[in-house]
Amino acid sequence: MNPENPHRPYPTRRSLLKTAGAAAAGVPLLAACVTNSGDGDEPADTGGAKSTENPLGVRADAPLEVVVFKGGYGDEYAIKAEAKYTEKYPQAKIDHKGLQKVGEAMQPRFVAGNPPDVVDNTGAGRLDMATLVSAKQVTDLAELLDAPAFDQPGKKVRDTLLPGVVDDGTFGGSPVALNFTYTVWGVWYSKSLFAERGWIYPTTWADMLALCETIKKAGIAPWTYQGKYPEYINDPLLTMAAKAGGLDLVKAVDNLQPDAWKQPGLTQAAEAFAELAGKGYLMSGSEALSHTEAQAAWCQKKAAFIPCGSWLESEQKDVTPAGFDMVLGTVPALPAAKMPVTAVQAASSESYLVPAKAKNVAGGQEYLRILFSLASAKDFAQANSTLPAVAGATEGLTLSSGLGSVRDAVTAAGPDAFNYRFRTWYAPLAKAIDDATGELVNRRISVADWSTRIQKASDALAKDSTVVKYTR
């Protein structure tokens, strides 16, 4: 999965989607507003009769257009769901598009009012979801969530999803996106390397620093990270902060509260990562590395640790040496933390939406009902070594080392899985935080400067009346 570093505030309802170099910078394109191609226009297809077998009222012969981000997971899983759709609606012609740059391709279609029926809005350069929501360009998926699950009798679709999945796609009280994968962020290491060296993964930051010194003396860099995309090193820092300050800290950040970034939990976590850099525990040259370059170096055992989300194993499958046995470790805790060390930052991703102006809104939602079936999720988990957003999808499967460790981390975390929402709600703030953390770990700004710089960006956003605000 490519890094996703969003930026810029919402445009007005009547403005056009702006590229402004977003594709070149690897940031989400801004979906806007998409002016009406005719005031009062309705989707061309109003659906068919609803029944037990057809709870969403799909018109059996209505064409269906599906656009999928063809990234680290490919698009075969989506094509399999389309085959199931065709089995149920053999008269429906399906137009499938697997794309690398979804936002770039979809931007003019949203502007023109002729979007596809389903969009996997994922990858670098994706459309900004908050802007699409404010422009009323996405369908409320409440009816889908309350529909019967495709292959789990007695359950609604919403009842089959892992905790937080519905919330992750909810804006202003309305569920408008449904995320297919469940991402857990942590610190990765080679289980076989650690066994060979007699190293034990640390649970406290003091133990992490002590182990880093041991690793360094062994001639291996303790850490590397995807330097061109500092959000990767930002994730463990923010996870550590949340463990230190608890959910109140997370909410203060997301709610743009004054002095949120002055909280001790955040400044202590920033000090910890500044110390990691200051002691020379980051592999030399990491700042200049892309995600693939840093991850390749780690797979070559040039560094012991790398921060990443749980897509790492799938993304590295073609270059990981046999017997490497990568596993995810939870972020070590600072003293007197308010959350247990087993707590993890986790959220759903691979975001699917049904455009409001789609010609086949009912078919788009039915396709998602099929895609989010238990059978579909199991196939995806097996093929991609990635945890799907559907509960129970890994039961009965023989799991790889990485996916097994992710599953175990989610199980151990239980109710202590959490997620920041600012990255989805406020793209400009996300970019400001990532940039500041990149400067911090490369020793160009102090912790005080880091805190002040981010708080200034948060305060500016809070005062900007043109930006829709969300609270939790």
Q: DSSP secondary structure string, 214-231? A: HHHHTTSEEE---TTSTH
Report the pLDDT averaged over residues 290-307: 97
Question: Torsion over CA of 171, 172, 174 and 179, rounded to 10 degrees?
Answer: 10
Question: In this model, does residue 349 exceed pLDDT 60?
Answer: yes
Apex CA 167: angle with CA 163 and CA 170, to 5°? Answer: 160
Q: What's the predicted TM-score (pTM) here?
A: 0.79
Question: In this model, does residue 32 exceed pLDDT 80?
Answer: no
Question: In this model, does residue 19 exceed pLDDT 60?
Answer: no
What does the domain layout of the chain look like in residue ranges? Answer: 22-34+43-183+349-400, 185-346+424-463
Residue with tokens 């003091």: 206
CB 68 within 8 A of CB 96: yes
**Residue-by-residue DSSP string for 103-117:** HHHHHHHHHHT---S
At 425 the three-state DSSP class reads helix
pLDDT value of position 274 = 98
Neighbours of 458 (CB within 10 A): 25
Report the pLDDT averaged over residues 37-41: 43
Segment 58-106, tens digit of pLDDT: 999 999 999 999 987 899 999 999 999 999 999 999 999 999 999 999 9
Nearby residues of 255 by Cβ (< 8 Å), 6 or more positions away:
471, 472
What's the CATH fold of domain 185-346+424-463? Answer: D-Maltodextrin-Binding Protein; domain 2 (3.40.190)
**Residue-by-residue DSSP string for 360-391:** THHHHHHHHHHHTSHHHHHHHHHHHS--BSBT
For residue 369, CA distances in Å to 72, 111, 143, 178 come to 23, 27, 11, 10
CB 57 within 8 A of CB 50: yes
pLDDT value of position 29 = 55
Task: Please provide the distance, in angstroms rounded to a whole number, between the alpha carbons at the two ends of the chain.
Answer: 28
Report the pLDDT averaged over residues 218-247: 97
pLDDT value of position 24 = 32
User: Mean pLDDT lowest for which of 159-173, 283-297, 319-333, 447-461?
Assistant: 159-173
> What CATH number labels 22-34+43-183+349-400?
3.40.190.10
Question: In this model, does residue 5 exceed pLDDT 60?
Answer: no
At 400 the three-state DSSP class reads coil
Pairing, β 174-175 against β 303-309: unpaired
Which residue intervals of 187-263 are DSSP H helices? 191-197, 205-217, 231-245, 247-254
pLDDT value of position 123 = 84
Question: In this model, does residue 284 exceed pLDDT 60?
Answer: yes
Question: In this model, does residue 38 exceed pLDDT 50?
Answer: no
pLDDT value of position 124 = 75
Which residue intervals of 300-416 are DSSP H helices? 312-315, 361-371, 374-384, 401-413
The C-alpha atoms of residue 407 and residue 120 are separated, in whole angstroms, by 24
Torsion-angle region of 182 (φ positive above 0: left; ψ -120 to 50: alpha; else: beta): beta
Residue with tokens 């690897």: 26
At 190 the three-state DSSP class reads strand
pLDDT value of position 128 = 87
Q: Give the number of C-alpha atoms closer than 13 A to the C-alpha of residue 120, restricted to the C-beta side.
A: 27
The C-alpha atoms of residue 185 and residue 317 are separated, in whole angstroms, by 18
Pairing, β 344-353 against β 178-190: antiparallel
Share of the chain above pLDDT 70, in %: 90
Which two tokens mark 327? 């596993």
Nearby residues of 322 by Cβ (< 8 Å), 6 or more positions away:
none
Mean pLDDT of the chain, nearest integer: 90
CB 467 within 8 A of CB 426: yes
For residue 322, the 8-state DSSP code is T
The H-or-E segment that residue 299 falls in is: helix 291-299
Same fold yes or no, 22-34+43-183+349-400 and 185-346+424-463: yes
Segment 145-179, tens digit of pLDDT: 999 999 999 999 999 998 889 999 998 899 999 99
For residue 414, CA distances in Å to 184, 344, 409 come to 13, 9, 9
The C-alpha atoms of residue 160 and residue 282 are separated, in whole angstroms, by 41
Question: In this model, does residue 323 exceed pLDDT 50?
Answer: yes
Band of pLDDT at residue 46, cut at 50, 70 and 90? low
